[in-house]
Amino acid sequence: MEKIEGLVIRTRDYGETHKIVTLWTREKGKITVMARGAKKPSSRMSSVTQPFIYGNYLIYIGSGMGSMSQGETVDSFRSVREDILKAGYASFACELADKLVEEKEPDPFLFEQLLTTLTYIDEGRDPEIVTMMFELKIYRKAGFAPVLSRCINCGNSEGPFSFSVAEGGYLCNRCKHVDPDRYELSERFSSLLPLLAEMDLKRLGNISMKKENKEKLRQLLDRYYEQYGGYFLKSRKFLKQMDKFY
């Protein structure tokens, strides 16, 4: 038995009374455990195995699937679960972690980035900006982050740059002919993107972005993920539907 601090990023029903819970932990990385009886409303495990719960768990880890015997909530991110839009962005961040991070590969920095993302969403910061910052970091963990420090074609580090989905990063003016479908970027926008990718979310102050810039970045990231991500994201589809109402 081990006491582990973790964040519930996914749950699945198993049988009539049990749950399979995916936790992202600082010490063990992503792990999947069985929580027996957690579907019963009267069970003490019911509340601590809800999505987005950050808690301390008593886990048995064997050669196969582990099991959860106890849990204690540290933070429930209450305003996230009470607001459908906040919950949508939190689900997107958690689904990215679930789909793109391998089991049992600890990454304390990325764990803190996800925890900070949910904290910021809970506090009322712009959920679109903070989730896109987390998204760029998890692309790097998954091995398909765009090159944003230089021209991917010639290595030139002097802007201005355009963004090429097909080439996987920035193209300078001399090389932009390589991709006719590139995204033309302003100098300010092209300097902002690597900052969003590299900045530790815990150091983030108050940040705002023009609506048209957020829309452009979202479109760019969506196309990039479609090219390289490989997994369908239900939460992203939900957020696209929600865009029609907000």
Answer yes or no: are the C-beta atoms of 176 and 195 closer than 8 Å: no
Strands 54-60 and 161-164: unpaired
pLDDT value of position 62: 79
Fold of 2-75: OB fold (Dihydrolipoamide Acetyltransferase, E2P) (2.40.50)
pLDDT value of position 159: 86
pLDDT value of position 136: 97
Question: Could you give the C-alpha distances from 42 to 7, 37, 39, 47, 181, in angstroms and in order?
Answer: 22, 9, 9, 10, 56
pLDDT value of position 103: 92
Within 10 A of 83 (CB to CB), how many other CB atoms are there?
A: 16
Positions in the chain short of pLDDT 70: 246
Judge whether 2-75 and 78-146+181-243 match in fold: no
Which region holds residue 4: left if phi is over 0, alpha if psi is between -120 and 50, else beta?
Answer: beta
pLDDT tens for residues 159-199? 899 999 999 999 999 999 999 999 999 999 999 999 999 99
Closest CA to 202 of 112, 99, 97, 77: 112
> Any residues with CB less than 8 A from the CB of 195 and at least 6 apart, and which?
none
In CATH, what class is 78-146+181-243?
A: mainly alpha
Answer yes or no: are the C-beta atoms of 99 and 86 closer than 8 Å: no
The continuous run of DSSP H or E covering 94 comes out as helix 84-100
> Any residues with CB less than 8 A from the CB of 125 and at least 6 apart, and which?
none
pLDDT value of position 153: 97
pLDDT value of position 207: 82
CA trace torsion 136, 141, 147, 150 (10° rounding): 100
Instruction: Map out the domains of the chain as residue ranges.
Output: 2-75, 78-146+181-243
In angstroms, rounded to a whole number, what is the distance separating the alpha carbons of residues 144 and 153? Answer: 16
Q: Which residue has the tokens 């990063």?
A: 169
**How much is the pTM?**
0.94
Answer yes or no: are the C-beta atoms of 141 and 101 closer than 8 Å: yes
